[in-house]
Amino acid sequence: MQFRWRGPIAVGWRGIVHRFRFSVLFWLMIGGAGSPARADEQRMLELERQIEAQAEELKSLRERIERLGEIEGPVEDLESNLCTGGDLHRTPLVCELTPEDGCDLSGNDQGLRVRRLDYEAAYENGFWLRPFDPEKNPFALRINGWIQMRHHAFARTSDTWTDNAGLVHPIADRNAFDIERGRLLFSGHAIDERLTYFLHLDGDTDGRSNVDFFDYWWAWRFDEDFQLQMGKRKVPFGRQWLLSARHTRLADRPMAIDFFRPDRSTGIAGMGTVWARGRYEWMISNGYSTANLAPEDGDTRLTLAVTNYFDFGESLGDQLVDYQWSEDPAVRLGHSFVFSPQASELNQDPLDEIQFIRLGDGTRLTGFGSLAPLATVNQFDVWMYGLDGAFQYRGWSLNSEACFRWIEDLSGTGPVPEKGIFQWGSYIEGGKFLIRRKLDLNLRYSHVYDRFGSGQETAVGSNWFPVDDSRMKVTFDVAHLNSSPLQSTASDILVGDDGFLFRTQFQAEF
């Protein structure tokens, strides 16, 4: 495509110089005939300054065109945009000034070569690289990220705790800064708009600053009501676990949820809608908690998980607090189910896959002597059921979950007196915006119980949103922990903790 620029900015270097030289001589001739010599000199100096300014303007325009990588709008608009001084950033083109086969710009040997761009870069809830013509180029990429910078301090009120095997463990004070979550997410579609992908990277300082592939999967969207995922992701169970950790009410999830929840695993998952206001997810995976385990570290049994919820009234936001300020009541009710059989190796040693279960006093179930002297539990079945509910209205919010876990068909390297263990726990938390979309106050109570022991968490905290955007917030909370059965560096709650935990966190996302 070739054309000639007709506007004043399209004459080229030589054209500008020639035109202004002619103007200078013309005005000198006219001015010199009837004006004093001093006025002629001033007029000449002024015209020289104008020449220099026009030359600089042309130089700047030329550099701008050479740097131009993408602009919006139809290719046919290029000539009219340039000739009328229009916005160069409105046309999907790459423009290059070249000395070969281009337009003759006022005698200049420079030419203009133009080609259409296939993709645009933009920000819309993430940085996008997406095609102008999805049918021709069915590929798109979105990049998101978020970081939680946290300080936590723990002041113990007890020096030790004793597990069910009779072993005494120390409880330590803690005081540290850490990056709890440094996340980078890549998502989009490829080959076909129905084939989507997701890649989730995580790094944190309490994980030795290693970068971990949290989630990575392909998904095929059959229609608006159903899609099938294949890869590694969260085993579905309850709202707090499936909701992103950047949307929790306090600095992290409740103690009870982290104690009972599954982890990530690899498998096949399906999700879709039920009637008008319901949604479900199911997954068949390698295990209950096999996030980074090699195949030889797990058994041959698969895990089944299903979760489902219904919304009533106004739709809930993507946070537990009512940042969106629901004008009408918003209610969500849901429930979840997990079945995960756990087996041992041929030599009867427990597999890494089954190391996640702890008793109510914090004792690891597969630890030596946890249930009986000289015996190690190495095989059992896990059945779990959960109920969850949430409410939001005009800055008020409330949410709660109850978890019930049955550990059945226990066996070990020696006689195990327990054939089944029942555990249950729950939390309830709520809050209110004291200043709309700026400052809220939140309360939480969480507990875990079985016949071997129990633990409690009582907490109060607040969120401050310094700008008019929920993607940036500062959180402060203080929690009293009583005989914690949970071991979680992510929430800064360790097994046996008895005392006060203080957390201050800055979070921003894009």
Q: Which parts of 68-163 fold into alpha helices (H)?
A: 78-83
Reported confidence tier of residue 243, pLDDT bands at 50, 70, 90: very high
CA-wise closest residue to 215 among 273, 139, 276, 267: 267
Is the Cβ–Cβ distance between 362 and 453 less than 8 Å? yes
Query: Is 106 or 336 the better-scoring residue by pLDDT?
Result: 336
What value does the mean pLDDT take over residues 158-176?
95
Reported confidence tier of residue 183, pLDDT bands at 50, 70, 90: very high
As a whole-number percent, the residues of the chain with pLDDT over 70 amount to 80
What value does the mean pLDDT take over residues 227-239?
96
What's the pLDDT at 298? 75
Query: Is 46 or 428 the better-scoring residue by pLDDT?
Result: 428
What the chain holds in terms of domains, given with CATH numbers, is 8-120 (no CATH), 151-179+248-509 (2.40.160)
* Token pair for 319: 């946070």
Q: What residues are paired with 413 via a beta bridge?
A: none
The model scores a pTM over 0.85? no
What's the pLDDT at 67? 54
What's the pLDDT at 291? 82
What value does the mean pLDDT take over residues 251-271?
96
What's the pLDDT at 62? 66
Q: Which residue has the tokens 């939140």?
A: 442
What's the pLDDT at 74? 40
What's the pLDDT at 51? 83
Rounded to an integer, what distance in angstroms lies between the CA atom of residue 470 and that of residue 244?
14
DSSP 134-159: TTT---EEEEEEEEEEEEEEEEES-S
What value does the mean pLDDT take over residues 501-507?
98
Is the Cβ–Cβ distance between 251 and 505 less than 8 Å? yes
- Where would I find the beta strands (DSSP E) of 124-249? 127-131, 140-156, 160-162, 168-170, 174-190, 192-203, 211-223, 226-234
What's the pLDDT at 265? 94
Is the backbone of residue 407 left (phi > 0), alpha (psi -120 to 50) or beta? beta
Rounded to an integer, what distance in angstroms lies between the CA atom of residue 442 and that of residue 465?
14
Q: Cα 279 vs. chain centroid, distance in angstroms?
A: 21
What value does the mean pLDDT take over residues 101-112?
44
- CA atoms within 13 A of residue 1's CA, in its CB half-sphere: 12
What's the pLDDT at 150? 97
- Residue 230's alpha-carbon distances to 8, 177, 337, 489, in angstroms, are 58, 37, 20, 29
What's the pLDDT at 30? 42
Supply the mean pLDDT for the chain.
Answer: 84
